[in-house]
Amino acid sequence: MTGLARADAPVVVNCSGLGARDLVPDPAVRPVRGQLVVVENPGIRTWTVSTAADGTTAYVFPQPGRLVLGGTAQEDDWSPEPDPVQAEAILRRCAALRPRIAGARILEHRVGLRPARDTVRIAREPLPDGRRLVHNYGHGGAGVTVAWGCAEDAAELALG
């Protein structure tokens, strides 16, 4: 934790996500690659989410002027590049749910690497100089969903 140990703050909170793999180091942190396709919205106003029997998901999230279509969750895949085969599969699954999507103009492709661990790491660690280091990472695709609760737990560790 050499980089963190130089800080002047009495508490350092590590929310480095996938970077924790090298920063801490924590080899338990791994990427879960997600790919999305953004298309022009043909007039869809409601969102749809579906999981098939084989575990693949399809979701349609309307935004002003566009639809976000997804998605994938590939563990241990470090590629930040869109995969055309996966993009086509996303489009096909989403068009099966909402036929108006078929033929919609593609605006962009997005890829993100979600920082995952088998268990989220929220822990306090004393530094050699007496300061506290609080870890809060490894949420995977649930980061937005659990952010408030994890932040509260991390704050309690930081202040307590």
pLDDT digits (tens, 9 = 90+) for 24-41: 999 999 999 999 999 999
85 phi/psi in degrees, rounded to 5: -65, -45
pLDDT per position as a tens digit, 102-123: 999 999 999 999 999 999 999 9
Cα–Cα dist 110/160, whole Å:
40
Q: For 30-114, which CATH class?
A: alpha beta
- Residue 97, sorted as left (phi over 0), alpha (psi -120 to 50) or beta, turns out to be alpha
Give the predicted TM-score (pTM) of the model. 0.84
CATH of 2-29+115-159, one of 1.25.40.340, 3.40.50.720, 3.40.228.10, 1.10.275.10: 3.40.50.720
Q: Tell me the two tokens of residue 27.
A: 């080899």
Strand extents, DSSP E, 88-131: 106-126
pLDDT score of 1: 47
Tell me the domain boundaries of the chain: 2-29+115-159, 30-114
Helix, strand, or coil (residue 104): coil
